[in-house]
Amino acid sequence: MPIATPEVYAEMLDRAKSGGFAYPAINVTSSQTLNAALRGFAEAESDGIVQVSTGGAEFLSGASVKDMVTGATALAEYARVVAAKYPVTVALHTDHCPKNKLDGFMRPLVEISLERVSKGLDPLFQSHMWDGSAVPLEENLEIAQELLDKCARARIIMEMEIGVVGGEEDGVVGEINEKLYTTTDDALATAEAVGLGDRGRYMLAATFGNVHGVYKPGHVKLRPSVLKDIQEAVGAKHGKDKPFDLVFHGGSGSSLDEIHEAISYGVVKMNIDTDTQYAFTRPIADHIFRNYDGVLKVDGDVGNKKTYDPRSYGKAAEVGMATRVREACEHLKSAGTKIS
Report the binding-site residues.
Answer: 96, 131, 161, 212-213, 249-252, 271-274
Question: Which SS3 state, helix, strand or coil, does residue 307 take?
Answer: helix
Long-range contacts of 138-141 (CB under 8 A, 24+ apart): 141/189, 141/190, 141/193, 141/194
The whole-angstrom separation of Cα 258 and Cα 72 is 32
**How far from each other are the two terminal CA atoms of the chain, in whole angstroms?**
9
Taking each helix axis as running N to C, give the angle between helix 31-44 and helix 274-290, from 0 to 180 degrees, rounded to the nearest 10: 110
Which of 19, 22, 15, 46 has the alpha carbon at shortest distance from 322? 46
Taking each helix axis as running N to C, give the angle between helix 68-82 and helix 31-44, from 0 to 180 degrees, rounded to the nearest 10: 40
Which of 152, 97, 146, 155 has the alpha carbon at shortest distance from 126? 155
Question: Which SS3 state, helix, strand or coil, does residue 273 take?
Answer: coil
In the annotated binding site for dihydroxyacetone phosphate, the residues are: 213, 250-252, 271-274
* DSSP assignment string, 183-242: -HHHHHHHHHHHTTSTT--EEEEE-BS-BSS---TTSS---THHHHHHHHHHHHHHT-SS
Taking each helix axis as running N to C, give the angle between helix 137-153 and helix 106-118, from 0 to 180 degrees, rounded to the nearest 10: 20
In the annotated binding site for Zn(2+), the residues are: 96, 131, 161, 212, 249
Q: Is 149 one of the annotated active-site residues of the chain?
A: no
Out of 95, 122, 170, 275, the active site residue is 95
Residues tagged active-site: 95
